[in-house]
Amino acid sequence: MQVSCLVFLPLLTAFLVIMTPRRFSYLIRWISVFGTGLHLALTIMISFLFWAEAKGDGELLRTSLVFKLHLVEKISWFDSLGIQYFVGIDGISLTMVVLTSIIIFAGVLASWNVKERAKEFFALLLILVTGVFGVFVSFDLFLFFMFYELAVLPMYLLIGIWGTGPKEYAAMKLTLMLLIGSAFILVGFFALYYGSGFYTFDLIKLATANFPVDFQRWVFPMIFVGFGVIGALYPLHTWSPDGHSSAPTAVSMLHAGVLMKLGGYGALRIAVFLLPEGAKYWGLFFMGLTTINILYGSFGAIWQKDLKYFTAYSSVSHCGFVLFGISALNFMGMKGAVIQMFSHGIMTGLFFGLIGMVYGRTHTRIISEMGGLARVMPWLATCFYIGGLASLGLPGLSGFIAESHVFLGGFFGHSLQSVGQSGALMKTFTLIATLSIVVTAVYVLRGLGRVFQGPIENAEFANLEDAMLSEKLSTGILVVVLIVVGLYPSILIDVIEPAIRPVLNRLAGGL
């Protein structure tokens, strides 16, 4: 019951927003904030419930190789097709749900200033987030796919109506690319459904199937690339810079912060978990692609003049870490990938939120037109620096934990495929990828320095005000999370580890 509440609370809030007459625009905002705030509270409650259940299992949970789900709800739905309403929570889901809950709350707070057609804006935002929550807790592939599409589509209107710049082009490009990805995913799902011989979409049951090796080798890239599109896998990432920079603040926060994580999540949960042989066959190939991802994104960010493009390219680079860690196919790498999903979600959410706030004041996003803004908006500048430092992997912030895991996984991890040459290749890829740490430091420090340091270049900027209360709240939450995870990472790791063991067990050939 709790998990269903988690999924449908945003939908209920969206319904309330739709029912509110258009002229009470402040009421619409309050309903949205209250709804998402309640949702955050519910998420925290569920985290405690999860802990309680997990503790009950005690030591067993830490070493258990069996897939363990909590708070399960299972209702048969389209019976003859073997489709169920099957939701539940494990460590990875919980991490992602907490992330989404935080980002949407911060996002709603950050879009306090949306006045134009506010009702539709908040309603669509909440419907979108319903889809995201649905994806993270579904363990039936049909349900998963349904929520996935629900999460992708409202994006078209959100960017098309409230966006800036070439918004219609960006919106169409983003929607179509993501849906072509989902077309591949759908074909893959059908292959799983019929290939398993079980005629079910139940993820747990499918995980007990013995797929033939040849079958896995052609289905795995289908599903992985399908999810790779939304996870910004090179060379299918091109929707991301355009989409993120055209989207309104809350939407870029949500999209870069959460939606891109659907890719990593699906790749890990479905592609690698169900098709281990396929994963071993293609692992190195995708590791190579994601190495390009990481470097291409960070080099791309150096050249950007627009703050949003700057962040979007850095997202491409950071999302590369997620898929990189997953394709390393070992414990460290996958753990790092999940932490990176969380950490990057919070970090990018913070970035895009801050950019929206700065843009709202200066009305420009061009880096060279700004300068010295730290004098007039110290709060925003501080938050921006903390986010930037997390992004370049400064120890003490969450980015360091994630990236160090991923690199260790890539370099030292005993990969299941690391026999002879491929082990050396993995080390090479990792070494190349670590270059991005330097490049990231270059673009982050240079970019932030231009924007915030030095004298105030434009006289008009001298009288700008710092963040107001809702903005302080929105950015404050995100900064606190970044620091907490950076200083006390076990809070995440303890939850994630038991959820990753079953995946490794599959990879090692166990059932």
Partner 1 sequence: MLPEIIVLITAFTLMFVDLFLKRETRYFLMGIPLGGLALAFISVFFLSNRKSFGGQFSLENIDLWLKVFFILCAFVIAIASFSFILGESKETCHKKQIYSFEFLTILLFNLSGMLFLVSARDLLTLYVSLELSTLPLFILTAWKRDALSSEAGLKYVVLGALASALLLLGFSIFYGLTGTMDLVLIGRSTNVSPLFWFASVLVISAIGFKLTLVPFHMWAPEVYQGAPTVVTAYLSVASKGAGLVLMFQIFFRIFGASISSFYFAIALLSALTMTLGNVVAIVQENIKRFMAFSAISQAGYLIMGFLGGFHANSQAVLQGLSRTHPLIALSMMIGLFGLAGIPPLSGFIGKFFLFSVAASSGFYWLVAVAAINSVISLYYYLRIVRQMYIEPVLETTVFPMKLSMGGLLGSLVVISVLLGLVPVFYETILWTWKN
For partner 1, the binding residues (CB under 8 A) are: 77-81, 142, 145-147, 149-150, 153, 156-157, 160-161, 168, 172, 175-176, 179-180, 183-184, 186-187, 190-191, 193-194
What is the DSSP track for 244-281?
Answer: HHHS-HHHHHHIIIIIHHHHHHHIIIIIIHH-HHHHHH
Count other C-beta atoms under 10 Å from residue 372's C-beta.
18
Q: How far is the CB of 186 from partner 1 (least distance, A)?
A: 5
Q: Is the CB of 173 or the CB of 506 nearer to partner 1?
A: 173
Q: Is the CB of 216 or the CB of 314 nearer to partner 1?
A: 216
Distance, in Å, from the CA atom of 460 to the CA atom of 438, rounded to the nearest integer, reads 35
- What is the 8-class DSSP label of residue 139? -
Q: Are 230 and 254 in contact (CB under 8 A)?
A: no
Q: How far is the CB of 464 from partner 1 (least distance, A)?
A: 31
Q: Are 333 and 293 in contact (CB under 8 A)?
A: no
Of 131, 71, 83, 428, the closest CA to residue 255 belongs to 131
Q: Is the CB of 142 or the CB of 443 nearer to partner 1?
A: 142
Q: Is the CB of 30 or the CB of 218 nearer to partner 1?
A: 218
What is the DSSP track for 374-434?
Answer: GGT-HHHHHHHHHHHHHHTT-TTSHHHHHHHHHHHHHHTS--TT-STHHHHHHHHHHHHHH
Q: How far is the CB of 414 from partner 1 (least distance, A)?
A: 35
Strands 70-76 and 84-89: antiparallel
Q: Is the CB of 73 or the CB of 168 nearer to partner 1?
A: 168
Q: How far is the CB of 274 from partner 1 (least distance, A)?
A: 16
Q: Is the CB of 79 or the CB of 460 nearer to partner 1?
A: 79
Q: How far is the CB of 3 from partner 1 (least distance, A)?
A: 18
Q: How far is the CB of 85 from partner 1 (least distance, A)?
A: 10
Q: How far is the CB of 30 from partner 1 (least distance, A)?
A: 23
Distance, in Å, from the CA atom of 219 to the CA atom of 227, rounded to the nearest integer, reads 13
Task: Give, rounded to a whole angstrom, the gap between the first and last alpha carbons of the chain.
Answer: 29
**CA 236 and chain centroid, separation:** 17
Q: Is the CB of 72 or the CB of 81 nearer to partner 1?
A: 81
